[in-house]
Amino acid sequence: MPDLLKVSGLKIEATVYPPGEDPQRVTIVEEVNFTLEKGKVLGLIGESGAGKSTIGLAALAYGRGGVEITGGKVELNGEDLLSLSKSGIRKVRGARVCYVSQSAAASFNPAHKLGDQVIEATVRHGLMSREDARRRADHLFDVLGLPEPKTFGKRYPHQVSGGQLQRAMTAMALCSNPDLIVFDEPTTALDVTTQIDVLAAIKHAIEETDTAALYITHDLAVVAQISDDIMVLKSGKTVEHGSVAQVIEAPREDYTRALVNVRSIRHEEKQDQSEHFFEMAGIDAAYSGGVKVLSDVSLHVPKGQTLAIVGESGSGKSTMARVATGLLPPSAGSVSLGGEVLPPALKQRSRDQLRKLQLIYQMADTAMNPRQTVGNIIGRPLTFYEGLRGSARKKRVQELLDQIEMGSGFHDRYPAELSGGQKQRVAIARALAAGPEVIICDEPTSALDPLVADGILKLLLDLQKQKDLAYVFITHDIAIVRAIADSVAVMFQGELVRFGPKSEVLSPPFDDYTDLLLKSVPEMRLGWLEEVLASRKMSAGGN
Q: Out of 416, 468, 527, 530, point to the residue binding another protein (CB under 8 A).
A: 416
Minimum Å gap between C-beta 343 and another protein is: 13
Out of 2, 20, 78, 110, the only residue in the binding site for another protein (CB under 8 A) is: 20
Q: What is the DSSP string of 288-338?
A: TTTEEEEEEEEEEE-TT-EEEEE--TTSSHHHHHHHHHTSS--SEEEEEET
Residue by residue, DSSP assigns 4-45 as SEEEEEEEEEEEE--TTS--EEEEEEEEEEEEE-TT-EEEEE
- Where does this chain touch another protein (CB under 8 A) — which range of 35-43, 159-167, 249-257, 345-353? 345-353
Q: What CA–CA distance (Å, rounded) separates 119 from 135?
A: 10
Closest distance of CB 278 from another protein, Å: 16
Task: Quickly count: other Cβ atoms within 10 Å of residue 98's Cβ.
Answer: 26
Q: Does 396 bind another protein (CB under 8 A)?
A: no
Q: Any contact of residue 287 with another protein (CB under 8 A)?
A: no
Q: Which of residues 434-493 bind another protein (CB under 8 A)?
A: 434
Closer residue to another protein in complex, CB, 178/381:
381
Please say whether the beta carbons of 11 and 67 come within 8 A: no
Among 168, 297, 359, 485, binds another protein (CB under 8 A): 359
CB of 506 to another protein, least distance (A): 31
- Site residues (CB under 8 A) for another protein, limited to 417-436: 417, 430, 434
| Residues contacting residue 160 through CB under 8 Å, at least 6 positions apart | 114, 152, 168
Q: Which amino acid is at 246?
A: Q
Q: Amino acid letter at 489?
A: A
Supply the Cα-derived Rg of the chain in whole angstroms.
25
We find the least distance from the C-beta atom of residue 468 to another protein, in angstroms, to be 22
Shortest spacing between CB 148 and another protein, in angstroms: 37
Given 89, 105, 189, 346, the residue binding another protein (CB under 8 A): 346
CA atoms of 395 and 399, how far apart (whole Å): 6
Q: What are phi and psi of 463, to 5 degrees?
A: -60, -35
Q: Note whether 363 binds another protein by CB under 8 A.
A: yes
Residue choice 62, 255, 277, 414 for contact with another protein (CB under 8 A): 414
Which is nearest to 214 in space by CA: 21, 45, 397? 45
State in angstroms the smallest separation of the CB of 183 from another protein.
29
Are the C-beta atoms of 401 and 410 separated by less than 8 Å?
A: yes
Contact predicate 140/87, CB 8 Å: no
Contacting residue, 251, 302, 381, 421, with another protein by CB under 8 A: 381
Query: What distance in Å separates the CA atoms of residue 481 and residue 93, rounded to the nearest whole number?
Result: 42
- CA distances to 96, 293, 422 from 334, rounded to whole Å, are 59, 16, 35
Give the separation between CA 184 and CA 250, rounded to whole angstroms: 26
Residue 471 CB, nearest distance to another protein (Å)?
17
Cβ at position 112, least distance to another protein in Å: 28
Q: Pick the piece of the chain touching another protein (CB under 8 A) from 68-76, 209-217, 229-237, 363-371.
A: 363-371
The only residue of 169, 199, 310, 354 in contact with another protein, by rule CB under 8 A: 354
Write each residue from 292 to 331 as x if it is in contact with another protein (CB under 8 A), else as -, in one continuous string: ---------------------------------xxx----
Three-state DSSP at 470 gives strand
256 or 318: CB nearest another protein = 318
Which range binds another protein by CB under 8 A, 268-276, 278-286, 343-351, 471-479?
Answer: 343-351
Q: Which of 306, 290, 289, 307 is nearest to 298 (CA)?
A: 307
370 binds another protein (CB under 8 A): yes
For another protein, the closer of residues 17 and 287 by Cβ is: 17
Q: Are 288 and 332 in contact (CB under 8 A)?
A: no
Q: Which amino acid is at 334?
A: S
Of residues 351, 387, 509, 535, which one binds another protein by CB under 8 A?
A: 351
Determine if 277 is a binding residue for another protein (CB under 8 A): no
Question: Which parts of this chain interact with another protein (CB under 8 A)?
Answer: 17, 19-20, 325-327, 346, 349, 351, 354, 358-359, 361, 363, 366-372, 380-381, 384, 414, 416-417, 430, 434
